[in-house]
Amino acid sequence: MLTADRFPARLRPPAGAPVRAVAAAGLAVSFLLLAGCGGGGGSAEATAVPSSSPTATADDFGCLSPEQARTNSVTFPSSSGQDVAAFADGTGHTALILTHQADGDVCQWVPHAMELAKDGYRVVAVDSVGDDVAEVTAAVTWARAKGATKVLLVGASKGGTAVLEAAGSITPPVDGVVSLSAPTSYGAMDAAPVVPRLTMPVFYMASDLDSPFADAAKELSKSTKKAKENDLTIVDGTNHGVSMLNDATNYTKVKDFLKKYGS
């Protein structure tokens, strides 16, 4: 089974060190101390800002403008206790959860996320730094809390492995899954034992010369026997993951699948 992406991931803080959570906690303590020192002799109350809303310490992820960071940078907690950061755009009732590959970050998805938001979707592109499956699950929970009635997962490379595995445990089930160049396994994730149980529509795409990821797509698709639709698309070339969408024909195929099951 495949256990690595094409390129090494950039260095990131370990999953056990939620930097944004620590910073937020420090700010909260400061506000409480200031409130306690205020005059008037009365008790002071501090109203916490929900972590699922755009944060005062907005993250630009290295690619957002200051305005985008303020309005589109969000955080929400995962079941593993991780503070998950994401780029969120759009207000539609169908949510798309996007997960990036190991050689990049959320910025890989931002241009597509903005375009898909204009198409009427609520898009949440996760900045993966820890437990990928827990991050995907947390993003689905956040999107549903914001009003999404349908949810589709889209993952590139190791992000594809993450969305396939997450789709097997999210309840209620998501409405569709798109896997772009996913290995069968990556780190602790293993999609191979999960895909035979998936009943929602699944779309697999990989490039024919992107070995061994094309073989993985074929293997995973072959095992996806219960899905409402099992679409395997092998395209020409060597493009991997998100880069396959640079081809207009490939991107249209993915968008057609999203429209079919997200409308």
CATH superfamily of 49-262: Alpha/Beta hydrolase fold, catalytic domain (3.40.50.1820)
- Note the pLDDT of residue 7: 38
Phi, psi (5° rounding) for residue 184? -65, -30
Cα separation of the two ends of the chain? 35
- Note the pLDDT of residue 57: 55
d(CA 233, CA 213) in angstroms, rounded, equals 12
Q: Enumerate the H helices of 76-183 as residue ranges.
A: 110-118, 132-145, 158-167
d(CA 260, CA 263) in angstroms, rounded, equals 6
Residue type, 56: A
pLDDT tens, position by position, for the chain (263 residues)?
Answer: 444 444 333 333 333 434 333 333 343 333 333 333 333 333 333 333 334 444 445 889 999 999 999 999 999 999 888 899 999 999 999 999 999 999 999 999 999 999 999 999 999 999 999 899 999 999 999 999 999 999 999 999 999 999 999 999 999 999 999 999 999 999 999 999 999 999 999 999 999 999 999 999 999 999 999 999 999 999 999 999 999 999 999 999 999 999 999 99
- Note the pLDDT of residue 82: 85
- Note the pLDDT of residue 108: 96
Taking the domains of the chain in order of start, what are their residue ranges? 49-262
d(CA 137, CA 115) in angstroms, rounded, equals 23
